[in-house]
Amino acid sequence: MKNERINVTKTFLPKQSEYQKILSRSWDKSWITNRGELVLELESKIKKQYNVSNILATTNGTLPLQIAIKCLGLKGEIITTPFSYVATTSGIIWEGCKPIFVDVNKDTFNIDPLKIESAITPKTSAILATHVFGNPCDIEAIEKIAKKHDLKVIYDAAHCFGVSYKEQSVFEYGDVSTCSFHATKIFHTGEGGALFAKDKALFDKLYYHHNFGHKGASDFHGLGINAKISELQAAMGLAVYPHLDSIFERRETLYKLYKKELEGKVKFQKIISNCDYNYSYMPVVFKSEKQLLLVIEELNSNNIFPRRYFNPSLNTIDYVNGEVMPISESISARILCLPLYFDLGEENVVRISNLISNSISNE
């Protein structure tokens, strides 16, 4: 329908009856939080299907970043990307560390490993890199640098549910990987997230950190915070889970239709090779910010509301005072994520694409 409001995304919701049937298992036991059977079942499903070593579901996707920094004992400077959601930077600062920005690759939008080593100082303790829009970083290059300089590696894999690199889940890379299960993501628990770590001793430490430091009912392993996911959230995840194949398939169809309709008119993100991608976002880059703003105005006037992910470039936010990052700042000014969700109709993808094409041609 032409007059329907089309947002950049729309939460996939299973039938209420599906959710309520799963939730009743917890409801009937009056066990709503503190890692009940639904949380354990959800973790088990993800661990088995994606062959990850260890997974810890959490109440959101930001606390995992902060817990990882705290758990790894990071101090001083953390090298990171300016092109990401603000939580990547704010988590570093919140934990008392300093973000050191390294500019991104103009095609993949990920941190450029060729520029990392020149940013390393005696104060550097880690690299925190984002797999932007689910597109894996240059993992081998980053981990080679980290090993050479004895640095920890955290991957912000918020967008990466279902993504694999060289036939292995991206969650298996780095010292710690994190994910978001927010309502806007492909897989969601309403609010939620997860921590992943291959090393069992490190994973156990992450576990204690997410549960007040508890080691049993009255003993404490060390400092902790509350990042536990609830049974209500896990029930949503379990209700969404059976639909994942359809969700992935549908998003791929719409993504490829956008590319077909807009080929040669905008720039697309380059997805790296050896990647099983999840089609989590539909980012396009215009030749100028002026062109982007014209497109937004035209789409908004047609009740279509894309989103400027990620704007502004994080090195420019007021509490950071980062150095100039020309590539990130340029992309940030010109990138737009177009509507992409399960029940978006093909006719609307074509209509959105036509509106964009007309706006560009009329500039």
Report the pLDDT value the prediction gives residue 32, as an integer from 0 to 100: 96
Residues of the chain with pLDDT under 50: none
Bond into 310 cis (ω within 30): yes
Q: For the CA atoms of 216, 222, 227, 230, what is the dihedral angle to 10 degrees?
A: 0
Q: Distance between the two ends of the chain, CA-based, in angstroms?
A: 27
> What's the rounded Cα separation, in Å, for the pair 130 and 99?
13
> What pTM was computed for the model?
0.96
Of 294, 77, 56, whose CA–CA distance to 192 is shortest? 56
Give 127-177 pLDDT, tens digit per residue. Answer: 999 999 999 999 999 999 999 999 999 999 999 999 999 999 999 999 999
Using the 8-state DSSP alphabet, how is residue 338 labeled? P
Structural domains of the chain, ranges and CATH numbers in brackets:
16-102+109-241 (3.40.640.10), 244-361 (3.90.1150.10)
> What's the rounded Cα separation, in Å, for the pair 46 and 55?
8
Report the pLDDT value the prediction gives residue 2, as an integer from 0 to 100: 60
Residue 253: which H helix or E strand, with range?
helix 244-262
> What's the rounded Cα separation, in Å, for the pair 47 and 30?
26
Give 1-47 pLDDT, tens digit per residue. Answer: 567 899 999 999 999 999 999 999 999 999 999 999 999 999 999 99
Report the pLDDT value the prediction gives residue 196, as an integer from 0 to 100: 98
Report the pLDDT value the prediction gives residue 243, as an integer from 0 to 100: 98
Report the pLDDT value the prediction gives residue 363, as an integer from 0 to 100: 63
